[in-house]
Amino acid sequence: MKPAAPAAPAAPSAPKPEVKPAAAPAPKSEVKPAASAPPKSEVKPAATPRSEVAPPRSAAKAEKPAPKPEKPAERKPAAAAAAPAKNMGLLIGIGVVVVALVVALVLVLGKKKPVEEVATGEPAPATASLDVSTEPVGAVVTVEAGGASQTLTSNTTFDNLAEGTARVRVELAGFLARETTLAVTAGAPQSLHMALLPDAAAQVCSLYVAVTPRADKVLINGKPASGKESMFWAVLPAGKYKVEASAAGFTTALAKGSAKASEVKKLALTLASAPADAAASGATTGATTNTAVVPVTEEPADGIALHIEVTPPADITVNHVLRAKAAPSVDVKLGPGKYEVVFEHPDFPKIRKEVQLKAGKTAKPLRVDLSAGEGGISVRGGKAGLKIYVDGRSTGVTTPGVVRGLKPGRRTVELRESNGVTVVASQSVIISDSPQNQQVQF
């Protein structure tokens, strides 16, 4: 038994080599991954002293140091868990960066709009369109709006016009150029029609003739002039003219001269009384007078007397029977009943009146003034902005427009340029006593 005593010191030497290999795997497998977490790796090696105490019990128990290295292996899931945690942190970081970039992008884009608004002041202005037609077609049309100019050939449409006032000029060889202005509005397509006058037709003048005391008829270049009594007028080609004014009981007055294009000339003529022999000669030859009464053979001797007056003198017809021609008045006798009296004058609308005559009662006189009342005209055609003149006087209205307050009768309507002198077109119109406006189309 004593010899066995020396074996006891050998036992301690055996565990030494086992402890050394047990310590070796710890730094190789577990210490390296634990390097990312130094505190955990320092705590785990502290368990090695227990393994130094265990070897004396038995060799089987001495083998336990082999499983002990498994404890660091249990740390692998912790290390693996640390890796996803790192990945999660990396993803979160990337997400934060992305969100920051999106926010920065939104802020940058949001700031661009105010910058653009400051640079431009306002959004791009809306534009208008204008359809232009001419008669004849093929004219050169220039439209100026907002400082920009476009030139096209009619008939055509102008787009992208600046909203506001537009100036339109139309030119065609052989015709008088025309120009006008109008307002164009975005979102409201507009149209403009312009009729061109040949150069020859544009070379006209206006002639006004005042006659004292009055005239039955005035001829200008052989054609009847518009007007009545003491004032007559006409628009005629520029050049020479001849005026003839006549009235019953007076000698004919003559005037000759010339007028330039666009000139407005006024003449004054005085009629002299005709010699007595000429007047008698005229009476015997059936010369017409202001009181020419047409004889009626079938007038009842005991009829009801009716006095009829008309201003100015006109033809008077009773139940389709002419009783007076160009006369200011007439007296007739009619039986009881209803009668239609018609007044006709070349410069006034035809007027009809009804008269009821009763037996044994005196008839009231019938008096008619053909110039009484008020009428109006609606002028269309031509270029916009032309001045409207009536009987040589400005109405203060431009085309297209309506003129009211006109006395019934024949009137000369003129369209003039802005200078009030150049006559573009004229037309003779008979105005009626009516609340409705008479259409005058140029």
pLDDT on residue 366: 94
Q: Where are the alpha helices (DSSP H) in 127-243?
A: 199-202
In Å, how far are 128, 266, 285, 390 from 395, measured between CA atoms?
A: 32, 19, 46, 7
Strands 231-237 and 204-212: antiparallel
User: What 3-state DSSP class applies to 18?
Assistant: helix
Helical spans, DSSP H, in 194-292? 199-202, 276-284
Model pLDDT, residue 50 = 47
Q: Do domains 203-277 and 288-369 have the same CATH topology?
A: yes
User: What is the C-alpha to C-alpha distance for residues 159 and 184, in angstroms, rounded to an integer?
Assistant: 11
Ordered per-residue pLDDT tens for the chain, 442 residues = 444 444 444 444 444 444 444 444 444 444 444 444 444 444 444 444 444 444 444 444 444 455 555 554 445 444 444 555 566 767 777 877 777 777 777 666 655 444 444 445 556 677 888 989 888 888 899 999 988 999 998 888 999 899 889 999 998 876 778 899 888 888 877 888 888 776 655 577 778 888 888 888 899 988 888 877 778 888 778 888 999 998 888 888 888 888 887 777 888 888 887 665 444 444 333 333 334 444 444 566 678 899 999 999 999 999 888 888 888 899 988 888 899 999 999 889 889 999 999 888 899 999 999 999 999 999 988 788 999 999 988 999 999 999 999 999 998 999 999 888 888 888 888 998 988 888 888 8
Write out the two tokens for 174: 């052989």
Residue pair 269/237 in contact by the 8 Å Cβ criterion: no
| CA 211 and chain centroid, separation | 48
- Predicted TM-score (pTM) above 0.75: no
State residue 172's pLDDT score.
83
Pick among 3.30.460.10, 2.60.40.1120, 3.40.50.1820, 3.10.450.200: CATH of 127-200: 2.60.40.1120
Q: Does domain 375-441 have CATH number 3.50.30.60?
A: no
User: Residue 384: which residues within 8 A CB-CB, separation 6 or more?
Assistant: 180, 181, 182, 192, 398, 399, 400
C-alpha 432/C-alpha 442 separation (Å) is 19
What gap in Å lies between CA 355 and CA 340, rounded to an integer?
6
- Tokens representing 181 are 């202005």
pLDDT of residue 367: 93
- Pairwise CA distance, residues 439 & 429, whole Å: 10
Dihedral pair phi/psi, residue 423, rounded to 5°: -90, 120
SS3 state of residue 169: strand
pLDDT of residue 390: 92
How many Cβ atoms sit within 10 Å of the Cβ of residue 271? 19
For residue 182 the two structure tokens come to 């109008």
pLDDT in the model for residue 92: 77
Predicted local confidence at residue 36, as pLDDT = 42
Domain boundaries, the chain: 1-122, 127-200, 203-277, 288-369, 375-441
In angstroms, what CA-CA distances link 359 with 7, 138, 212, 332, 356? 184, 73, 46, 15, 10
Q: Which is nearest to 155 in space by CA: 119, 115, 191, 204?
A: 191
Written as one string, the DSSP assignment of 380-398 is E-S-TTPEEEETTEEEEEE
CATH among 2.60.40.1120, 3.30.450.40, 3.40.50.720, 2.102.10.10 for 203-277: 2.60.40.1120
Question: Domain 288-369 adopts which CATH fold?
Answer: Immunoglobulin-like (2.60.40)
